Amino acid sequence: MWSPKSILPQTKFCCLGRIVTKLNLIAGEWLAGEIEIENRNPSDLSDLVGMFAQASSDQLDATLDQARIAQAEWAAYGLERKQAVLNAIGNEMMARAEELGTLLSREEGKPLAEGKGEVYRAGQFFTYYAAECLRQIGENADSVRPDIEVDVRREAVGVVAIISPWNFPTATASWKIAPALCYGNAVVWKPANITPASAVALTEIIERQDIPKGLFSLVMGSGRSIGQRLVESPKVNAISFTGSVPVGKGIAAAAIQNLTKVQMEMGSKNALAVMDDADLDLAVSLALGGAFGGTGQKCTASSRLVVHAGIHDAFVEKLVAGAQAMKVGHALEAGVQMGPVVSAQQLQENLDYVALGQSEGAELACGGARLEMPTEGFYMSPGVFLNTTNDMRVNREEMFAPLTSVIKVGSYDEALSVVNDTNFGLTSGIVTKSLARATHFRRNARTGVVTVNLPTAGTDYHVPFGGRGDSSYGPREQGKAAAEFYTTVKTAYISAGPV
């Protein structure tokens, strides 16, 4: 039974006393905004996930000021004290993966197993960077001048703005927040407005820790208003962004006005090359998982399947059968392999791409259609285009849809050339039993991540992640590589004087 005592500090009761509005964390206080928005379950539009406050410009400015003060205090915390904070966040997330993963799947639409897996992985980012707190080791050298020593070490960059997308609402934010805190920074987080519930849940965990007031801020609101103001602010020292290319370019342009450091991970058009010597069943399962996992809404999705003529027909037959057999449905329903897409807008864009592909001459072998389900949501069937060429727009633009295209090639050399013929360059993969081809591909694919007999999606947390071309800009994320972005180098010269 509800009682006033059960009101959490981060919630506010609306007039009817039933729906609570989740608040922003501003300068260490949970505050309502000027307006609020509702968030609905894309698997069932009758399910209201919640109401969410939208931060005002004044709140953003206030929290940036407090973040500056808190950052100095946090940077001066002992290493083990910082480590304990990060460990506590990570351990709680892993322990609550079922509950928080359910919330994530409910608001984003990915099947529950993926939602739970994402939250657990997000927790691992925090425990990984907890350990990194104690592994911040600099360099030292003798000066070229006599009796002078040089000490090179990294310091926090300051106040970091984190702008994250909806497709991995918890993991992407966590792989930015965890290193930012590890290396002594304050964080102002603007999550995607379409997945605010996961953002509030993570913020609640972080806010309860032993951190200075205002070290961590949550500023929910639209990208065009509060996001734009955040990236234009001279009070921000660094911006880490994941999202679309046009928005990324706009953020970079805004950041350069203040010479703010930027790191951006954007779209891609990842190719999986399937060679004639591939294990057929493995190739099909990698293609299905890579193309339709997360409903195809992944920057690492296998959206181009570059298939050797020698295996093409057998591969296509099994691929299409596999896509047709996939169970599409409510993200929280047992056995569902693919949930709805995230929004009405995304669904419409996807259907537009299906029409575009057909108008370009691609053959739609299956799927690509809106689906009616017992609950009203943004469902569509996984679609496979055949007989496509790499110059078609469906093979050049990121669709972020449960759609994939098969491009038939006559040789390994042609496959590599098609894989590399893109403006993007995040991930690529090859399926082959040939060590020679695998090695050549690994060394010549122009992507930041390359996989052999593995999906193009699915990466570890302790090694660098990022791409080339339009896919990424700035230092790599994750692993030790994250230090490059979240720190700045200081070179100290020390003359101890005569003994």
Give the active site residues: 265, 299
Q: Examine residue 289 and tell whether it contacts ligand NDP (CB under 6 A).
A: no
367: left (phi over 0), alpha (psi -120 to 50) or beta: left
Out of 23, 53, 163, 392, which residue is the one contacting ligand NDP (CB under 6 A)? 163
Task: Report in angstroms how near the CB of residue 280 gets to ligand NDP at its nearest.
Answer: 30
Closest-approach residue to ligand NDP (CB): 223
Q: Examine residue 477 and tell whether it contacts ligand NDP (CB under 6 A).
A: no
Q: Examine residue 165 and tell whether it contacts ligand NDP (CB under 6 A).
A: yes
The one-letter code for the residue type at 184 is: G
Strands 29-31 and 24-26: antiparallel
Nearer to ligand NDP, 295 or 388 (CB): 295
Site for ligand NDP in 41-80 (CB under 6 A): none
Q: How far apart are CA 219 and CA 186, in angstroms?
A: 14
Site for ligand NDP in 246-275 (CB under 6 A): 247, 250-251, 265-267
Out of 30, 125, 166, 465, which residue is the one contacting ligand NDP (CB under 6 A)? 166
Nearer to ligand NDP, 109 or 322 (CB): 109
DSSP bridge pairs for 449:
427
Q: Examine residue 242 and tell whether it contacts ligand NDP (CB under 6 A).
A: yes
Burial of 261 (0-12, 13-18, 19+ CB in 10 A): buried
Tokens of 5: 């005592």
Out of 162, 194, 336, 457, which residue is the one contacting ligand NDP (CB under 6 A)? 194
Nearer to ligand NDP, 291 or 365 (CB): 291
Candidate segments 20-28, 237-245, 316-324, 427-435, binder of ligand NDP by CB under 6 A: 237-245
Nearer to ligand NDP, 441 or 465 (CB): 465
Candidate segments 100-108, 236-244, 330-338, 454-462, binder of ligand NDP by CB under 6 A: 236-244
Q: Which residues make Cβ contacts (< 8 Å) with residue 89, sequence separation at least 6?
A: 123, 126, 178, 205, 206, 209
Q: How far apart are CA 11 and CA 8, in angstroms?
A: 6
Site for ligand NDP in 379-408 (CB under 6 A): 398, 400
- Site size for ligand NDP (CB under 6 A): 27
Nearer to ligand NDP, 130 or 173 (CB): 173
Candidate segments 6-14, 135-143, 245-253, 446-454, binder of ligand NDP by CB under 6 A: 245-253
Q: Examine residue 424 and tell whether it contacts ligand NDP (CB under 6 A).
A: no
Nearer to ligand NDP, 39 or 451 (CB): 39
Return residues touching ligand NDP (CB under 6 A): 163-167, 190, 192-194, 222-224, 227-228, 231, 242-244, 247, 250-251, 265-267, 299, 398, 400
